Structure formats: structure tokens, C-alpha cells
Structure 1
Amino acid sequence: MSNNLYITATESRSGKSAIALGVMQLLTRNVRNVAFFRPIINNGVDSGRDHDINLILRQFKLDIPYEDTFACTLAQARELINSGQHAQLLENILNKYKALEAEYDFVLCEGTDFQGKDPAFEFDLNVDIAANLGCPVMLVVSGRGKTDEEIVASAQITIDTMEEKGVDLVAAVVNRAEKGADRERIVSSLECKVRCTQPLSVFVIPEEESLGNPTVKDVMKWLDAQVLYGHGRLETVVGDFLVAAMQIGNFLGYISKGSMIITPGDREDIILTALASRLSSAYPDISGVVLTGGLQPSAGVHRLIEGWTGVPLPVLSVKGHTYQTTQKLAELYGRIDPDDQRKVALALGTFEAHVDVPVLSERLVTRRSTRITPKMFEYNLVETAKKHRMRIVMPEGECDRILRAAEILLRRGVCEVIILGTMDKLTAKISELGLNLDGARLIDPATSELLDDYAQTYFESRKHKGILMDEARDKMLDPTYFGTMMVHKDHADGMVSGAINTTAHTIRPAFEFVKTKPDASIVSSVFLMCMKDRVHVFGDCAVNPNPNAQQLAEIAIVSAQTARIFGVEPRVAMLSYSTGASGKGADVDKVKEATVIARERVPELAIEGPLQFDAAVDPDVAQTKLPGSEVAGKATVFIFPDLNTGNNTYKAVQRSAGAVAIGPVLQGLNKPVNDLSRGCTIPDIVNTVAITAIQAQAEKGLL
């Protein structure tokens, strides 16, 4: 098998970029160094850069110079071919490809976009390039607007043609199939007849309108429009375009969910009605308004809208007249912007839901890397969490980042999501953000049937502290306390909070009634530090200021257990400013004592201490300072003597080495509860929820 793949479509708007995203996700999970290459690109529209190259490089943080990722534009390729220099074109492409092949373990290639006027020319060109690069091919066939018979007929002809031209097909993806398509019939009907050494892998992915449709931001870029209002709502997906030329009473009857209203800028009655409809539950949520003719609302109306707290939808302004604008929008289609993590997550979730990833992985990857990159680790987190879907409660339901992360978690199938908050505020916020959280369970603690039982349970657990029943009920009205009680009562498997609450507020309820495991005397934490090609575990960097020797030994033991849960083989370094017997002092003695205690409690644990950091990670230094150690020079779990050292070190490594720090992951509690930083990003939330789900799996013996 080859260490390359060529993804090509047969027509435009096939959703090829979404397939490339899914395949690259699969590859980065298994292969350390993956390159992306497009032999031929169209003229760039994203700051002069090719859209798909920009998407893949940014999403997967590939450190490849942009100029190395393509050979030429389609116009340049056509010019060379028309001048009789077809061989020169192939040589240019091969030279650029070979340069990447020499540096990377796998090269994923993507064909042309079929945006030209001659699809037959582009098809032959892609087949020719794939054959000359020695790439097996993944064929992407568009099922949009086609019957099952039409899909099978066109796809089989393409497969036969590719085989005749000497191309090895590894898989065919029927993308954007109609919702009622007969998947089994399509899969069983397509086959390789000559060149396939194994049966052709065929996958059918249904149409996902949110991927195929543009966002308001796409419309803004396409029309070079000015944003007048609603700057924070540009990620809203556009369902259709509606020209508003009627009176208000008639116009309202035509709007549908996701409609983008196109109207002259002096139709203030339409503008105000559109804004009002977005706030009314009696009408579908429209996506935005485009004002044409370069006209804008009058000063009075502008003042009225500006004074509207939180303009409910984006309003754009363009110079062109209404007909011209409508004609231009007819050529617009949805693209996946690398900044739109909602669409990226939807694309990846849709791919994973309909493609047998293990089967495809087996066919594509000839050898698996023993190194783990941050992207590999994050992908493995999600994949492990998906195996047994746990119930994770998120108490901060009125936080935008939490809700956006929840949608991603649902799209990816990471876990069952429970969101807490005041119900009317929750539903209004979800509508305002244009999210689809139909799969989430929304709970208002104040109206929940669980409230009385939770208050009684809390009262019983804390009455020895003098708490009154009314106080217990008030506590349970707090979403953080309510969510923690859900975990305590096994109505949820884990909780993630802290995006807007303090660490103390997040973990205090867990200390009060979830409490520590029988064999744990303290709660501690670790950070999963994703380095360039490996994962280290740092503890304790967030909870215990100055643990004694007994506590330090316990932190080492539970951190090793946490490391193993997340696929890191624990080799524990007890860090100090001294290695072995080279130094003296109370701080060194504490680390020595902790190491002895840990060895006595868990004799089979690979642990060494005291160790300096360089002796723990560098084999050459280890050979000099502590030869023969099974830990020195190859440690994976690093236990710091105090919080001051641990917290500063993890942040220094994160910032200076470009490591991805995932955590803190709390350990020692009876049930998994994890804290977020108040500055956390949406990916941070997704990762922490996945970690919490995996901890819950471990608690239930599912790993």
C-alpha cells in the first residue's frame, strides 16, 4: 500500500473539502507527519490563498509553507497543456509532490474543484495526475438532486473509466445524498471490476444543509458587504434568499427558517419588521437582512436600532441594486471557513457518523506512528469518549461558549449533554445563537421535579453543619450545586463547569457531598501536556499549595492511574532541584520520603525521585546523573513538589514550547467533576468534556 491518497470529485459542489477534513482527521490520528498537497488550485479568494489548503493547514496546524502545498493554478495548467507542454506540467507537479514525500510520512492530495467550464477536461487531468503520482484514489460522487439509479449509473461509469486509465481505487464516497437514498442498494451496486485488490469500500453520506448552505459571513465576503448591525451573529446559516418587495402583511407570509431578506436600503418598514420577527416566537427565525442600493436607514431609524439591546440578527449593506445582488447570490454556495468551528465540527461529525473509520484507516495507513501529536491525542479523546456515551452535565447554560461547545459535542456524538439554566433564557440564547441543541436535555433547576429530592439529600448531608432546609433548597437552586447533585445521585455521570464560575465555586459542592474516594485523602489535579510528538502528565499544578510527603506520594500514584486511563504509560518522576543523593535540604527530603511511600504502596509502579527535570526527560543527562534508572531520561508523569513550581512550570512549557495544555483534570473524587478556566475556548470545553466522559467510563469499568 502507498503512503498517499488522492481525493477527487466528478463535479463541482460535491462537498469534497468536507471529505478531505474527515480523511485528514483520520490520518493525523495514526500518522505523525502528514502533508497536504493540491497539484492544481483555482485562484485564491481567502486573502489570495486556496480555500481548501487554508482550511486544512489551519484546522490541523500543519507547519507547511503555503507555497509548497500546490504546483500551479488551473489557468496555468490549461495554458501548458494547450501549448503542448503536458509533460512539463506533470514534471512540475511531480517535483513539488516529491519534495513533500521526502519530508512527510503521508501525503494527502486533493484534486481540482471543477469550477471551470470543462468538467471532462478536469476529470481526465485529475486521473492523469493521480496515476503519475502513484496515488490510490478516493472518489467523491455528488448525490445532490439525484435518484439512487442516477447515482449508481454515473458513479459506476466513473469507476470503470478510472480503472481503464490505470488508477487504483481505494474507496468511493457518495456525498450529499438525498435523505431518502437507499444506502445499502447504492453500496452493493458499486464495484471495481479490474484493479481493486480488495472489494471497493463505498460510503454514503446524506445531505447536511448546514454544510451546504452559506453563513451570513460567507454572504458578507461574497458581496463585499458592510456589516451595519449584528457583528456577533455572522456565523448564522442561511437557508434561502427572499426578495422583499411586498407590503409588510404579505411579506411576513413568505419568510421561512433561515431566510435572508434582500430589500432596498430605504425600505425601513421591511427592516424593522424583519428585526421584530426575529424576536417573535410566532414566526420562523430568519438569518439576516441585506440592504441594497448603497442605501441605509435614516438617522432616526438607525438610532432606534442602535438602542435595541442586542440587535437580534445581522444587517448587511451592499452597493449593488436588488436584482444584481440576487443574481450574484445565486452563484454562492456554502464553504467551511477554518474560523467556523461549528461547521468544522459538523463536517467531522457527519463524516464519522457515515464512514466506517476503522475500515478506511486500515486501508489507508500502512504503519502507525509510535509518537503522539496534540491533534492525535485530541482525536483519541473524542473517539474514546464516543465508545460509551456518558451523561455530562454543564451548569453554565447561559454562557455562549458552553452552548456552542454543546452543539459540537452533540454533532460529534461525544456524550449525552445535559444543560442547566433558566428555561426561557436558555431557549432565547439558543435561538439567538442559531444553534441546534435538539439532542440536549435542558433542565431548569427551579422547576425541576428533582429539586425537592436534591434539597432533602443536601440537607441530610449537611445538617450536622447546622444548615436549615430553606438554605438547602436555596443551594439546590444554584445550577452548580444542582449539577453536582445530579452526579452524586447518578442522574449524570460527570460535570464540567468553570467557564464563568470560579474554581472554588465549581469544586466546593463536590467537596461537600461527592467527597473523595475511600483510598484518597486529598483531591489533586493533572494537566495533560500535549508536546509536539508525545504527551506528558504534570501534577499537581492547580489544587494543593504545599503537599506533605504522604500527600505527594498519593498525588504520584493517582496521577499515574490518570495517565494510564488516557493511554500514557506511566513512568513517574518526582521532581526536585536535586537528582538522587546529590543534594540535601528539607524540600529534597520530602520528595525522597514521598518516593519511598509511593513505592511501598504500589511496588510495581515505575517511579524515581528526587529527579531534576533535565534528568527526567533527557536520556544523555540521565545517563550521567542517574545511570540505570528505568524512569530517568524517559519519564512521562512529572510530580512537582509544590503548587508554585507546578503551576509556573506548566505555563512556561505551554507558552515557550507551544504545548497544548488540557486540564486541570481533577482526581481523587468519587465521581468526575472538572473545572474550566474562565478564559477557556470552545475547543478547551470540548476536550474537558471528553476527558470527563472518559473518567466516567473508567469509574464504571468500561475502559
Structure 2
Amino acid sequence: MKTILLVPTGEGVGLTSACLGFIYALECQGIKSGFLKPFSQEYDVTTDRTTALYQHLTQSDNVVEPIAYTQLIQQFNQGESDELLEQVVHMHRQIAKSHDFIIVEGLLPNARDSFASSLNASLAQALDAKVVFVSNANIRQAKCSAEKVETQLRHFGGAASERTAGVLFMRTRGLPEGTAEIPVTLDPSLRLNKEIAAFSQEIQKTHAHIGSAQLPIIGMVPFSDSLSVPRVSDLAQQIRASWINVGKAEKRRVLHSSLISSNIEYELNKFVAGELIISASDRIDVLLASSLACSNGIPLAGLILTEHHQPSAQILDFCQPAIKNGLPILHTTLSTFETAQQLAQLSNEIPIDDIERATQVTRFVSSHIDLDWLTQLVNGQYTARLSPSAFRHEFVQKSIAAKKRIVLPEGDEPRTIQAAAICQSRGIAQCILLAKPEAVLEIAKARNIELPADLEIIDPDLIRAEYVAKMVELRKGKLNEAQADEQLQDTVVLGTMMLALDQVDGLVSGAVHTTANTVRPAFQLIKTAPDYSLVSSVFFMLLPDEVYVYGDCAINPDPDAAQLAEIAIQSADSAKAFGIDPRIAMISYSTGSSGTGADVDKVREATEIAKQRRPDLLIDGPLQYDAASVESVGRSKAPDSEVAGRANVFIFPDLNTGNTTYKAVQRAANVVSVGPMLQGLNKPVNDLSRGALVDDIVFTIALTAIQAEQQKTA
């Protein structure tokens, strides 16, 4: 069991973010990491913020709440520090039952809790923990940054101590522009190795041990304005405001704020995406301008009206379009200046319920941690597993290495545009948007999406004619030029033709189209691979501890036994391609020979066919879902099976069962699902859910790029 104690040098260093970043970095190394905050330092808090965020992000059931601050003070003042530490060791052992590695959050040294530093040292000893110091830094103030670390280092026996492992600088200021990019997943290219080396040299002029091999700087995390942005819903309490319209306050983030004081004609440049408009409530022109901006597709963060009274109902009637579009509107009796002052004092800490921001911060911090250092600390003593984080990380990295061109027929769809910009900037794929360039630029401007210079946008009207004759040739005898021209008006068909002619490597669609719209052209123009007779699909289900593969949940309504066997083989090969060693369960309502009937007989026959075709695969069926997935049930119902209780590839007997099961698991267990990924085609085409998030589209593009590379290699 390895334990890292993160010791802060003071308040406001980003300790919560550092803890979550370490946990995510370990997850991406395949290490199941737990979290422990031994002591609370807040009065009357029933739910600890860091612990709650950890539980939300990892979906771990094995968490313990910290010892309450009142109990800490009482026992410490009574000289019961040993008893306190015994309780902490007990908490640590509870978490160790199901984790290979534990990150422990130390106490914040402050003017009130003078015992914090000495208690941190005792914690490190009691838990046999390695210590990482967490501090903020300014590149231009090396000596000052080092002195903060030095103050805490003394409590642990100095840099020569075997316990001290490194320094993590958070919220670092003074770095060059462009160093605060937000990664989609763990991105080693963001680590500031050169800057760390230069800063270490500067520090060592006064503190020779900091930045040395004895006490390395294991990461330097830039201060990021974009990761410090609150939601509009986080502002109300700070400015003692009431809601005129809550709208999308839980989703809208405050990128900037503007006080509107002069004539509206001189202030219109402030009405941009992510802007929080602050104005006196008698400025009806500001209210109407905000409403007009929202009606024009500009997602303002929100509107705060100050002083006086709330606007009349008659005025608000004019703003109904903005209200219906979700514009958050607040009213406070504070003056405009007082409101701005209060907002400037808003804490940078992540609220418990802001999972989106917590996720981004976690990835950002983990991308700046030295994984070579982390690997040495782990020392190869842990059994690697394909966690969801490792799965996402691996396939994003594989897609970057593949360097594939992916066409996106829904090129003017906002989520698709944002996903394409992310993929292009991160090198996940070379994306081609099929859309009018002016439409893409307008949407990007309205939504504050920065389009990379090398992102391809192709006007379908300019290229459609060159595909007519080629499509007639591909579908010889089935359509004429007029029919081909008509079908090519559909950008999905046009994109599929580009794929058929090897002008792109893959296609992703479905954000606004149905599965049939996406798949039908692929059936007609791409067709099935030589070894297969059908096209099927899989979902990668990212459960908290493991990735499962579900097939077929999107394509084949009622496959016969031979088709079901082929789906199992396709799904096993897909699992292997993404780093999962397949153990395949053929799912039915009956396990083994206990049940009879046409449905269970079909699954039994399919299992035998699959075993004959692929004796190299671990496959068993029919198995009930619980017998396939729960070890104790598997041992009871199928004691001789190598798959029962250990399955990670689940093949459902029909589309009704598969689609219902994947959606039930996804929604009830709050599980992320990646897919559907189509398998069996000559070239990769993948379908999105119409409710897909931007991240879903990014991962599907990455997945498609990897498929293209695998087919090329094969």
C-alpha cells in the first residue's frame, strides 16, 4: 500500500485541485486510487467538499468523512493527539481495503490552527506516507516561492528526509501565454519541463535542495482564468441577490463581467458569449439589449440588476425570448460598485455540485504532473487495470498517433463544431466539416469557439458535382445521375462518398441525424468487410472500476444464431483492439441448460458456433446477466465457467434487450457510454446519439481514427 500526503504551504494554494489531479493521474496509470481527508477545518459542515467531489468524479462507494473540526479541537486541546491519529489510521485502513494507492489531504496551516503543520508531520509518520508539498508560485519571485516550501519542509526533517518526495506548484503565475490550455484528457505535452528546469535553477540560488533530485519539482500548474470561472448560480449568495429568472444558471459560466454605465450604443461590444452584465435596474435599455443578444444566439452568462426595484412585469414581457432561452437574471439591492466588489471576493474553490468544473480542473492538474516521477514512486507494485480514465486516455493517445482525417457531415451543428475544434487543436484527428464556411464562423463567434487555422471547412455545394458519376458507378444499375445528385444533397451521403473514395479515413454523424440516416449510405457505398456478413455495434460502458463492452445495442433487431455468433466475434475483436482482454458472455434469461425455449436455444446455438469459429476466445452462454457479471452468482450458477462472474463483453440476444439494458445501466448508474461504434464495415463509420455531449463527439472521433488505423494495419 502506497500513500501520498499532500501538505499545503498555506491557504488558497489549490489543495483540493491538487488532490483530485493526483487521483486522476494515477487512474490514467491504471492504479485504483482512494482519497482520505482526515480532518475538517470548517465549523458545522456535514459534507466535506473534497471528499464529495472525489466521490462524484470516481463514483467510489468507499469514502469516509473527515473528523469534525469541533472534535479535532477538543481532543487536541485535551492532549489526545495519539487517539486522533489512531482514528485516522482506522479510516486509512477502511479505504485501503479496496484501493491500491491513497491520496491524503493535509491540514491547511493558518493563523487560527497553529497545530496544523506539526499534525501534518504526525500524519505522515502514522500513515507511513510520502510527502508532496503543494504551494503556489510566481516565476518572477523564485526566492519567495521557495521560502513558502521551506517553512513546511522543516517540520518533516528537511529535504534529506526519506518521507519528502517532491513539490507541486499550483496556480503558477508569470508563465508565457498559451501554457494554460485545457486538455480533453491526460495530455503529457502540456507539462512545462523547460519552465520547471529554469525555475529550479533560479530557486537553487538560495535553496539548493528544492528542485534537486532529493526534492524534485514534480509539476508546475499554470493559473488558468478559464478554470476559475464560477457558474451564475454560484453568485446569488455572494451578492445577496434574488432571482428574477433562474434559467440556465447552473450551466452558464462567467468568463468576464462588465459594468454598464454609459450610453448603450457605446457598450454593445460587451454583449458577448460568457459575459456577465451588471447594471442598475432602471437601465431598461440594458435589459432589452441583453434580451436581444440572447435572441440573436449570443449565450450571455447572465444579467445582474442592482439597486432600486425589480423591473415591472410589463418590461419583463418584452424579454420573454431571452427568458425562454435560459438567460439568468438576478436582482440585488447592493449598488453596482458594491456588487462588483463582492464578486471580486468570490472564492476560487470548486463548489460541491460543480462536477463539470471539477472534471476540467482534475484533468488540467494531472496533465502537469511528472508521470515518470509518479511511476518511480509506484515502483511497479500495483496490478494495472483498464479503468475508464485509462481507457479514455489510451484511445485519445492512440488517435493522436494515428493522424487520421475524419469527415463530419453535420458541419454546422454547434456541438460538432466545438468537438472538431478540440480534436484539431489536440491533434486527435484532422477534422473536415461539411458546411457553409460562413455558417460555421457565425456559430463559432456566437458561442465563443476558437477555430484552429488548419480546421478544414468544405462547402458541399462546391464539391457535390464531382461525386455524381462516381456514385453512379459505385451503385451501378441501382440509380442514375439525377438520383445520385439528389441523394448527394444529403451531406451524410456526400461524406460517405468521400470515405468510399479514400479521401478521408472515417466518418462520424448522428448529432442531428437518426442512426438509419448515418448507417444506410454506409451499407450502400462502404459495405461489409470480407470476413463478415453483417454490420453490428458495440458500446464501451465506462463503469467505475472497469470498462464493459455491450453488443449489439443499436443495429440488428433480431439476429439469428449465426449472426449472433458473428456479433460476438466482432465485439471480442473490438474489445481486444482497445486493450480489453475479452471474456464474452452470451446473455439470455436462462443460465446453462436450466431453461428451454426458442430464445434461449438461439443463444446456446450461437455460443457453439462462436466457439467453433474462434476457439481462441473465452466465451460462454447462455448466461443471465447477474451470472455473467457478479462473481458470487457466477460461482453458484455456472461453477465450471471461465467467464461467469468475470465477463467484460456482453452479447445481448436482440436489439430490444441490448438497447434497453445499455440505457438502463447508463442512466441508473450514471455510467458514461462511448458509442455506438459500428463494426463489420470495410471502413469506419460511427453514429452519435442525438443527445451527445461535446466530449462524447470528441471520443467518438478518436475512436473512429483508431478504427481506421487498425483496419489499415490489418
State the TM-score, normalizing by the size of structure 2: 0.80
1:73-472 pair list within 5 angstroms: 73=69, 77=72, 90=85, 93-101=88-96, 104-112=99-107, 117=111, 122-123=116-117, 125-143=119-137, 146-147=139-140, 149-150=142-143, 153-154=146-147, 157-158=150-151, 160-161=153-154, 163-164=156-157, 168-177=163-172, 178-180=174-176, 182-188=195-201, 193=209, 200-229=216-245, 231-232=247-248, 235-248=251-264, 251=267, 260-273=276-289, 287-293=301-307, 295-307=309-321, 314-337=328-351, 340=354, 342-364=356-378, 367-369=381-383, 372-374=386-388, 377-388=391-402, 390-396=404-410, 399=413, 402=416, 414-438=428-452, 441=455, 443=457, 445-446=459-460, 449-462=462-475, 464-469=477-482, 471-472=483-484
May I ask how many residue pairs the two structures share in their alignment? 691
Residue 572 of structure 1, CA deviation: 3.8
CA deviation digits over 1:509-558, x for unaligned, max 9? 21121222122221012233455644443333332233344433322322
Residue 209 of structure 1, CA deviation: 1.4
2:23 maps to which residue? 24
Q: Which moved more, 1:685-694 or 1:408-417?
A: 408-417
SS of the aligned residue for 1:40 comes to: coil
| Mapped partners of 1:574, 1:255: distance in 2 | 56
Q: Structure 1: which 5+ residue stretches go unaligned?
A: none
1:89 to 1:410, Cα distance in 2 relative to 1, 3 A: farther
Matched, 1:70 2:86: no
Any conservation in 1 of the 2:585–2:620 contact (CA below 8 Å)? Answer: yes
CA deviation digits over 1:362-398, x for unaligned, max 9? 4247633465555554555445445545444444455
| Mapped partners of 2:596, 2:347: distance in 1 | 69
| Mapped partners of 2:583, 2:243: distance in 1 | 55
Any conservation in 2 of the 1:373–1:533 contact (CA below 8 Å)? Answer: yes
SS of the aligned residue for 1:180 comes to: coil
Q: Structure 2 counterpart of 1:244, which letter?
A: I
CA deviation digits over 1:40-99, x for unaligned, max 9? 335489x9633333222212212245xx231233x7656765676655655554454444
| Mapped partners of 2:433, 2:535: distance in 1 | 25
2:37 maps to which residue? 38
CA deviation digits over 1:4-56, x for unaligned, max 9? 212233233333333322211123345675332223335489x9633333222
CA deviation digits over 1:602-634, x for unaligned, max 9? 443444566666776677887898776655665
1:27 to 1:270, Cα distance in 2 relative to 1, 3 A: same
1:696 to 1:12, Cα distance in 2 relative to 1, 3 A: farther
Q: Structure 1 counterpart of 2:457, which letter?
A: I
CA deviation digits over 1:543-596, x for unaligned, max 9? 223334443332232222112112222344455677777887766665566555
Q: Structure 2 counterpart of 1:200, which letter?
A: P
Residue 295 of structure 1, CA deviation: 2.6
Q: Structure 2: which 5+ residue stretches go unaligned?
A: 178-194
Q: Structure 2 counterpart of 1:321, which letter?
A: S
Q: Structure 1 counterpart of 2:157, which letter?
A: E
1:12 to 1:392, Cα distance in 2 relative to 1, 3 A: farther
1:692 maps to which residue? 704
1:199 to 1:424, Cα distance in 2 relative to 1, 3 A: same
Any conservation in 2 of the 1:487–1:671 contact (CA below 8 Å)? Answer: yes
| Mapped partners of 2:112, 2:626: distance in 1 | 61
Matched, 1:558 2:553: no
Residue 331 of structure 1, CA deviation: 0.9
Q: Structure 2 counterpart of 1:69, which letter?
A: E
Q: Structure 1 counterpart of 2:481, which letter?
A: L
CA deviation digits over 1:473-508, x for unaligned, max 9? 454443333443444444543333323321111211
2:189 maps to which residue? none
Any conservation in 2 of the 1:215–1:237 contact (CA below 8 Å)? Answer: yes
Any conservation in 2 of the 1:218–1:334 contact (CA below 8 Å)? Answer: no
1:38 to 1:533, Cα distance in 2 relative to 1, 3 A: closer
Residue 670 of structure 1, CA deviation: 1.8
2:51 maps to which residue? 53
2:180 maps to which residue? none
Q: Structure 1 counterpart of 2:239, which letter?
A: L
Residue 351 of structure 1, CA deviation: 3.0
Q: Structure 2 counterpart of 1:134, which letter?
A: D
1:539-554 pair list within 5 angstroms: 539-554=551-566
CA deviation digits over 1:638-695, x for unaligned, max 9? 4444434544555566677876654332110122222233344555545544433432
| Mapped partners of 1:121, 1:251: distance in 2 | 52
Any conservation in 2 of the 1:572–1:631 contact (CA below 8 Å)? Answer: yes
| Mapped partners of 1:277, 1:609: distance in 2 | 59
Any conservation in 2 of the 1:278–1:286 contact (CA below 8 Å)? Answer: yes
1:648-659 pair list within 5 angstroms: 648=660, 650=662
Any conservation in 2 of the 1:168–1:196 contact (CA below 8 Å)? Answer: no
Any conservation in 2 of the 1:31–1:105 contact (CA below 8 Å)? Answer: no
SS of the aligned residue for 2:129 comes to: coil
2:182 maps to which residue? none
Q: Structure 2 counterpart of 1:368, which letter?
A: Y
SS of the aligned residue for 1:214 comes to: coil
| Mapped partners of 1:234, 1:616: distance in 2 | 40
Any conservation in 1 of the 2:244–2:331 contact (CA below 8 Å)? Answer: yes
1:609-628 pair list within 5 angstroms: none
Any conservation in 1 of the 2:403–2:430 contact (CA below 8 Å)? Answer: yes
Q: Which moved more, 1:587-596 or 1:354-363?
A: 587-596
| Mapped partners of 1:210, 1:627: distance in 2 | 54
Q: Which moved more, 1:591-600 or 1:480-489?
A: 591-600
| Mapped partners of 1:432, 1:185: distance in 2 | 40
Identical-pair percentage: 35
SS of the aligned residue for 2:713 comes to: coil
1:503 maps to which residue? 515
CA deviation digits over 1:200-225, x for unaligned, max 9? 25222223210123343332353343
1:95 to 1:643, Cα distance in 2 relative to 1, 3 A: closer
Q: Which moved more, 1:202-211 or 1:192-201?
A: 192-201
| Mapped partners of 1:621, 1:62: distance in 2 | 22
| Mapped partners of 2:630, 2:264: distance in 1 | 73
Matched, 1:524 2:520: no
| Mapped partners of 2:401, 2:375: distance in 1 | 17
1:482-497 pair list within 5 angstroms: 482-497=494-509
Residue 305 of structure 1, CA deviation: 1.7
2:185 maps to which residue? none
SS of the aligned residue for 1:518 comes to: coil
2:181 maps to which residue? none
Any conservation in 1 of the 2:304–2:331 contact (CA below 8 Å)? Answer: yes
Q: Structure 2 counterpart of 1:517, which letter?
A: A
1:13 maps to which residue? 12
SS of the aligned residue for 2:18 comes to: helix
SS of the aligned residue for 2:508 comes to: strand
Any conservation in 1 of the 2:209–2:215 contact (CA below 8 Å)? Answer: no
Q: Structure 2 counterpart of 1:142, which letter?
A: N
| Mapped partners of 1:657, 1:261: distance in 2 | 38
SS of the aligned residue for 1:39 comes to: coil
Any conservation in 2 of the 1:550–1:594 contact (CA below 8 Å)? Answer: yes
Q: Structure 2 counterpart of 1:154, which letter?
A: E
Matched, 1:669 2:663: no
Two-structure CA RMSD over aligned residues (Å): 4.4
